[in-house]
Amino acid sequence: MVIVMSPGATAVDVAAIVDVVSTAGGEAFVSRGVNRTIIGLVGDVERFAALNLRAMPGVADVMRVSQPYKLVSRENHPERSVIRVGGVPIGPGTVTLIAGPCAVETPRQTLEAAEMAKAAGATLLRGGAFKPRTSPYAFQGLGEEGLRILADVREQTGLPVVTEVVDAHDVPLVASYADMLQVGTRNTQNFALLQAVGRAGKPVMLKRGMSGTIEEWLMSAEYIAQRGNLDIVLCERGIRTFETATRNTLDVSAVPVAQRLSHLPVIVDPSHSGGRRDLVLPLTRAAIAVGADGVIVDVHPHPEQALVDGPQALVDGDLRELAKVMRDFPPLVGRTLAASADDLLIG
């Protein structure tokens, strides 16, 4: 932390700060310039933050220099991390495609969607059994029955499963079926849930809150990391802005910003960002171009019958194009499409 004194600050003002900081167990290093004095603090930043130094006489500004999140920060961990989900890598060097239905509806719909996902190059299957719905009257997901369907489809296709958990009490149940736990945008600051997934022993995909800053998102990741789980993938899924033409506004700059601040992989959800089928491929290209470590895409065999998010689901006819993007775009940024665990063993 750095304290900038105002030009009129006196020696007594400076001494008072040094005194308060050392009483709080820290050290204060005073550098006197021609016009201003600057005091650098070394010690527990959280304790300094509680001292209300800004209100002390002669203080012009107080600035934090180290980031408030530690475990997920790149400051202490300069190498970018690779997270493995059922053997599939997510991180630098590759682009991972995660695809599947927004919600698990029936065994057949889930299997068909998984086959579509695989045909497009996906190596992980998404699908929600617990759906966080804005309306309490909307389809809430099949619950454990949905988890069983996902586990069956994993058996049939070999695709490891990413699925959302919305309640801290359900974490052990969902973790017993899933290969990766998803925390959705509506729960990014549900701290009890974050702590529970942190203890679950499974990788976690953490969406960005729809109105959350990048710093808030990383603080949420820190909650998970603090419970001993550093297998976290960040997912930018669009934020709320004044624009109404799209469901959310994809914040492409969040990808390189988060990657510079944190060692965790960052992926993009072009389906929930745009909320429109015709935008999924352009936003997928944008995500790969900006350096995303993966994309997570909704697909559905019959979107007109989908119980959730049909308008944004890719259909059969789109898959050839998605497969082409996934093949052609990663090499343009020096990456390859992430292979499945089986392919890695064979290759």
- Cα 221 to Cα 268: distance, rounded to the nearest angstrom: 16
CB of 302 to ligand PEP, least distance (A): 18
CA distance 173 to 291: 34
Look up residue 8 and give its DSSP letter. Answer: T
Measured from the CB atom, is 131 or 335 closer to ligand PEP? 131
Q: Taking CB within 5 to 8 Å according to partner kind, which of Mn ion, ligand PEP, none is near residue 207?
A: ligand PEP
Residue 81 dihedral angles phi and psi, to the nearest 5°: -85, 150
Residue 91's binding partner among ligand PEP, Mn ion, none (Cβ under 5 to 8 angstroms by kind) is none
Q: Hunting for tokens 């976690």 — which residue is that?
A: 204
Rounded to a whole number of angstroms, the minimum distance from the CB of residue 128 to Mn ion is 7
Shortest Å, Cβ 306 to ligand PEP: 12
| Torsion over CA: 263, 339, 126, 146 (sign) | negative
Window 157-186: contact mask with ligand PEP (x via CB under 6 A) = -------x-------------------xx-
Q: Using the Cα atoms of residue 303, residue 284, residue 340 and residue 98 in order, give the sign of their dihedral.
A: negative
**Do residues 271 and 280 touch, judged by C-beta distance below 8 A?**
yes
Best CA proximity match to 43, nearest among 65, 75, 72: 65
Q: Nearest distance from residue 146's CB to Mn ion, in Å?
A: 14
Nearer to Mn ion among residue 112 and residue 309 (C-beta): 309
Pick from 345, 30, 295, 347: which is nearest to 158 by CA? 345
Binding status of residue 272 toward ligand PEP by CB under 6 A: yes
By CB under 5 A, is residue 102 in contact with Mn ion?
yes
Burial class (CB in 10 A: 0-12, 13-18, 19+), 85: buried
DSSP 24: T
291 interface partner picked from ligand PEP, Mn ion, none, CB below 5 to 8 A per type: none
Q: Minimum distance from CB of 329 to Mn ion (Å)? A: 24
When asked if residue 300 is in the footprint of ligand PEP (CB under 6 A), the reply is: no
Annotate each residue in 74-103 with x if it binds ligand PEP (CB under 6 A) or - if it does not, as one string: ----------------------------x-
CA pair distance 149, 178, nearest whole angstrom: 11
**Residue 58 contact partner, candidates Mn ion, ligand PEP, none, CB within 5 to 8 A by sort of partner:** none
Residue nearest to Mn ion (CB): 102
Nearer to Mn ion, 41 or 104 (CB): 104
Show the CA angle centred on residue 319, arms to residues 133 and 235, nearest 5°. 45
As given in the structure block, the two tokens for residue 38 are 């600057």
190 binds ligand PEP (CB under 6 A): no
| Dihedrals phi, psi of 84, to nearest 5 degrees | -110, 130
Q: Which residue has the tokens 């497009």?
A: 120
Min separation Cβ 127 and ligand PEP, Å: 9
Q: Binding pattern to ligand PEP, positions 111-150, x when CB under 6 A? A: -----------------x---x------------------
Which of helix, strand or coil describes residue 238? coil
Which pair of structure tokens corresponds to residue 176? Answer: 């017993």
- Cβ 303 to Mn ion, closest distance in Å? 12
Q: How many residues bind ligand PEP (CB under 6 A)?
A: 10
Instruction: Specify whether the CB–CB gap between 287 and 259 falls below 8 A.
Output: no
DSSP one-letter string for 210-234: TT--HHHHHHHHHHHHHTT---EEE
Min separation Cβ 272 and Mn ion, Å? 6
Say how far apart CA 164 and CA 188 lie, in whole Å.
Answer: 12
Q: Which stretch binds Mn ion (CB under 5 A): 23-31, 94-102, 165-173, 181-189?
A: 94-102
The interface with Mn ion within residues 305-324 (CB under 5 A) comprises 309
* Closer residue to ligand PEP in complex, CB, 161/339: 161
Which residues of the shown chain bind Mn ion in the complex (CB under 5 A)?
102, 309
Which residues of the shown chain bind ligand PEP in the complex (CB under 6 A)?
102, 128, 132, 164, 184-185, 207, 237, 269, 272
